[in-house]
Structure 1
């Protein structure tokens, strides 16, 4: 038992050593013509590599399953009997290498749960009369009054009893815009209080919180996905008994042990064993070269069959960063007004201030003499003799700043376009109205159009943002099915409903709140700039968050799946041809071995073609770039 555990635990070094020995054997034969060394090294590679396969075959037999490992084990034993050490070594290595690819994928996805758990709140500040005590999160009970300070994580789902503040709720809603919260409003565990101080009454604790449900949903989704059977297991259920029975019958009929062993060796699906992994490796390699990290060969078939794509909004269809969309001026000196606004925002902690600073860019900032912040409304600052006011409509009205009819029309237009709005007044005279919103990715609309041409029948957008804002983005991109105000459990429930309807679903997101849906979907895709947990949970990562790479990823999986099927046809066709040839006498051991090795070479060459894959859209872009270069 200990030996079994040791061998199964050290499969990686076994594959590496076996591969090195095989390469050494070929070098000794073809460079130095050392045939004895070649045979000895191949035998060593086979002996070192075969124990894990023997163990897996034995374990399958114990539960009455005739596995592909059993066929490989018998074929390798037969190869040793008739002295075909190279055939044994190569088949063993290819088989172990294919299994290694699957194992690495499973290990990678399991780490997502550990990373997500680390993000959960660990402690809380409980108010007990006049005292404040730090306690473990497990000691918090419903009804406790908790204190949350600026920069701290909110430990529970609860209701604000006292205080105001701006909260980053990206971990739950996925929205980049911080939410202003005040007395009586709900807050969620795992979110960050960026500015302010709150007293919160605990409503939901531990696993019952929204963040706790995210962890639970990810665990359930990954467990479901890990139960998928590999193609080789399904194939072996029928193929292995047929080959074993055929070898036995032929051996008995012709009274020829050598012929029976030859059938086992040639029937061992060497090209099939390597055909699927080589397609996967080539497809994954092409993706990596193009900024697309594909974690698993298993998802290739799932994504290639996708007929429904579901998108998060913020950070996926949009850039995920608030930016100034428009600046309406009510002054003759727009640049001076923007310079003064940026100078004041440098002194402010308002979450929209950075967007204004980015919009203005490098400038000579004015010296601010004094500032006064009115929480939830705006800021008053003095620059020399001038008074600068920046804030919302209520703030302006409360300070006797007249908003003219043109400004009111501009305000309505910006709000209907999904903007947050900021007024700027100088000496109580309205000078600017700034619209700030998360911008739609410029390449998103064209990408969706091409994906539709490639076979995606249904596009859906799910977001934690309000329905009105969500529909504005949906209309801009041509997405007719839009659902706003969705929490993580709503998103994952929606994915389940689609799957129950028979849809093959790809989900594309970037936040912690998206991770359950990413894990649950048939193909989960994360933007590379997203949170670590979304990236860990996903099957595919768009490394540089280039949305248009979805086209390449979708096309690549379709091409890779077709390539795999081609390799399977080559492999199975070769085996059938060889077995029939052996029985009817037009194939012998030497010619059979040659055809067998050529079939392996054929599937490798076929798989390697994927390394050069490009979509029609990329070829057109390349052609246009070349033409422009020639014109220059």
Structure 2
């Protein structure tokens, strides 16, 4: 495809929101129907998010016609977001039909007890109940039957019409009502699960106060451009991502990062749409359009995550594809074979109809998606972005967690705690100038610490570095006034043929390493000139998080660091880490993850999503810290923690494990219920209405079980 074609395709993509999309098979059928429209090139229906992306041209009426088999309603994306009002019960057509059908069923039961089951009035009332309550069901079921598309509506249609044909009018009417209730429960459960997404979308205001040409105006966020100046008063939500131009305040970032404590923000700091300005007046320069904000990215990724099918869901979907036709064939055999040998056509047809009803796979089909949608939505509200059902399942099976040290277990802002001159060749000021000249252009946190220290000590060097080289994970070197200097780890310095480390320097290095410090040495071509001891402060909750992970049954926790063995050992012991791997280059971290996997461990890697990208990709599960505003973290990892709070990791593991348990419970229960009902049908113990009630009860139980995932909270 040419670049022009790709651009054209992107421009022709339109996002729609769907109402009444209650089952995965309906979503697949709707997608197929839309793809067959004349001007549509492609279509993707996201069942979990109730969303559809259409590539091509199609009107709303054409799309709704494609979804007429299930009364699917289509709305444009922005219209869906704007319309948050609930439809009152009395204005919902399905509810009115259900209520009227139930009233007629009740009147039919009263007429049956007074006039008899065969009375014309009794039968008329039951017929009225069946027609009003099941009209849309019959239309869909018969249409699908003609097309040989066997789904649960086909099963129910045959069962209800079959019951009427053999004179079981009351049973047919009862089945209609119970099935309608079952469908309403499915709608409710999926809407409840999807509500977490809608609540995310409603976090940010839809309007903002902007200053343009000296005037303050209120605009829709869609009209705001990058560079506009946004005015936010205390107590207001920030409508767009931006950078503070004027003012300072504490910002509550909980809606994005899940952090409970407000964060201090000043001029030059980034702020996110949907967060709350608590104290000061702020003027914020907009840096992203509304569709590109961090919040929009989160919503998009959460919705896409819910479209990703977990292995358990894929299995259930494959099973249901063959299960429904098999049930129909079995029912046909039960209706025909026994009567041919022992007679009793009416009785065996009734049992076959009961089999059709109990064979309806509602509870089974909804058992997995409702759990996945609920868990991913709950995680997103707590600042954890799980990028698919498959990653949710993987997180539930993890038994080993590897942590990058810098910026993950520590705060990532190391400081120089000790400086020691080891030679009189240069003055302290000159040594700091050299160190600053070497490190000022490096992005490494330790280089930044040395640069800051040199500046704090008054260094403002104009020294120029030539032949500069940075050796990843080791140090830097370069020429200043034709003299070659190196600044790096002791092991790196010792590699140089011109620099051996005397005993006295080794002892100075070891003294600092024993305190948990990272040591860097500055040398020229003849000798070691100075020692810098750098320490990165451990996060306050790191040790507690490690303990929590061990308590939830994690077999081992591993720290991966480029630090020397002595420093790594001190920090690892403070944190209670079970395995410490030190002096690692980035490629060594990847090799360590691979080695753990080769030993049979299910490994999660926790890093910052930038330097640790290879290791994150190699692990069974990649978890990136600080996803808010960091594209790399959002793209690289399977799970992104929107804040820098390690406490989210035990929460994620607990939520994932509970989700796995719920999925297994739901599938086992749904299968078991079907098997029990099938066994009761053969001797004739299960009536038609009991069969529907069994399916209804199963749907209700698996839904309620899945919604328990909303109650999982951080400890």
| Distance in 1 of aligned mates of 2:93 and 2:33 | 32
Q: How far has the Cα of 1:46 moved from its partner?
A: 8.8
Say yes or no: does 1:349 pair with 2:434.
no
Partner of residue 93 from structure 2, selected from 3, 28, 31: 28
Q: How far has the Cα of 1:442 moved from its partner?
A: 3.1
Query: Is the contact between residue 358 and residue 691 of structure 2 (CA under 8 Å) also seen in structure 1?
Result: yes
1:444 aligns with: 542
| Distance in 2 of aligned mates of 1:588 and 1:87 | 15
- Partner SS for 2:36: helix
Query: Is the contact between residue 491 and residue 517 of structure 1 (CA under 8 Å) also seen in structure 2?
Result: yes
Query: CA offsets, 1:226-267, max 9 Å, x none?
Result: 995733157558855763454233222363545424422321
| 1:541-620 equivalent positions in 2, closer than 5 A | 541-614=640-713, 618=715
Say yes or no: does 1:528 pair with 2:619.
no
Q: How far has the Cα of 1:452 moved from its partner?
A: 1.5
Say yes or no: does 1:323 pair with 2:414.
yes
Partner of residue 312 from structure 1, selected from 367, 385, 404: 404
Q: How far has the Cα of 1:273 moved from its partner?
A: 1.4
| Distance in 1 of aligned mates of 2:396 and 2:666 | 17
- Partner SS for 1:298: helix
Q: How far has the Cα of 1:546 moved from its partner?
A: 1.2
Query: Is the contact between residue 633 and residue 640 of structure 2 (CA under 8 Å) also seen in structure 1?
Result: no
Say yes or no: does 1:75 pair with 2:161.
no
Query: Is the contact between residue 623 and residue 638 of structure 2 (CA under 8 Å) also seen in structure 1?
Result: yes
| 1:235-384 equivalent positions in 2, closer than 5 A | 235-236=319-320, 243-252=327-336, 253=338, 255=345, 257=349, 259-319=351-411, 321-324=412-415, 326-327=417-418, 349=440, 351=442, 354-355=448-449
Query: Is the contact between residue 133 and residue 180 of structure 2 (CA under 8 Å) also seen in structure 1?
Result: no
- TM-score, normalisation: structure 2: 0.49
- Partner SS for 1:546: coil
| Distance in 2 of aligned mates of 1:515 and 1:393 | 23
| Distance in 2 of aligned mates of 1:318 and 1:281 | 33
Partner of residue 315 from structure 2, selected from 231, 237, 249: 231
Query: Is the contact between residue 15 and residue 49 of structure 1 (CA under 8 Å) also seen in structure 2?
Result: no
2:36 aligns with: 6
Q: How far has the Cα of 1:512 moved from its partner?
A: 4.3
Q: How far has the Cα of 1:408 moved from its partner?
A: 9.6
Any gaps of 5 or more consecutive residues in structure 1?
59-69, 102-224, 331-336, 381-390, 395-404, 424-429, 619-632
Shift in alpha-carbon separation, 1:281–1:10, aligned structure 2, 3 A: closer
- Partner SS for 2:379: helix
| Distance in 2 of aligned mates of 1:368 and 1:458 | 47
| Distance in 2 of aligned mates of 1:522 and 1:53 | 44
Shift in alpha-carbon separation, 1:358–1:34, aligned structure 2, 3 A: farther
Shift in alpha-carbon separation, 1:258–1:449, aligned structure 2, 3 A: same
Q: How far has the Cα of 1:521 moved from its partner?
A: 3.3
> Relative contact order: is structure 1 or structure 2 higher (C-alpha 8 Å, sep ≥ 6)?
1
- Partner SS for 2:155: helix
- Partner SS for 2:544: helix
Query: Is the contact between residue 560 and residue 581 of structure 2 (CA under 8 Å) also seen in structure 1?
Result: yes
Q: How far has the Cα of 1:498 moved from its partner?
A: 3.8
Query: CA offsets, 1:366-415, max 9 Å, x none?
Result: 896977779778999xxxxxxxxxx9999xxxxxxxxxx99997665335
- Partner SS for 1:441: coil
Query: Is the contact between residue 28 and residue 37 of structure 1 (CA under 8 Å) also seen in structure 2?
Result: no
Say yes or no: does 1:455 pair with 2:553.
yes
| Distance in 1 of aligned mates of 2:34 and 2:478 | 69
Shift in alpha-carbon separation, 1:311–1:590, aligned structure 2, 3 A: same
Query: Is the contact between residue 512 and residue 533 of structure 1 (CA under 8 Å) also seen in structure 2?
Result: yes
| Distance in 2 of aligned mates of 1:587 and 1:293 | 46
Q: How far has the Cα of 1:491 moved from its partner?
A: 4.7
Shift in alpha-carbon separation, 1:2–1:453, aligned structure 2, 3 A: closer
Shift in alpha-carbon separation, 1:241–1:39, aligned structure 2, 3 A: closer
Query: Is the contact between residue 607 and residue 624 of structure 2 (CA under 8 Å) also seen in structure 1?
Result: yes
- Partner SS for 1:293: strand
CA RMSD of aligned residues (A): 5.6
2:498 aligns with: none
| Distance in 2 of aligned mates of 1:551 and 1:81 | 53
- Partner SS for 2:389: coil
Q: How far has the Cα of 1:88 moved from its partner?
A: 8.3
| Distance in 1 of aligned mates of 2:605 and 2:71 | 38
Q: How many residues align?
A: 445
Query: Is the contact between residue 29 and residue 38 of structure 1 (CA under 8 Å) also seen in structure 2?
Result: no
Query: Is the contact between residue 35 and residue 43 of structure 2 (CA under 8 Å) also seen in structure 1?
Result: yes
| Distance in 1 of aligned mates of 2:345 and 2:713 | 54
Q: How far has the Cα of 1:553 moved from its partner?
A: 1.0
Q: How far has the Cα of 1:298 moved from its partner?
A: 3.0
Q: How far has the Cα of 1:327 moved from its partner?
A: 4.4
1:204 aligns with: none
Any gaps of 5 or more consecutive residues in structure 2?
1-30, 52-66, 75-85, 102-127, 163-171, 194-307, 339-343, 422-427, 469-475, 481-486, 491-502, 523-528
Q: How far has the Cα of 1:551 moved from its partner?
A: 0.9
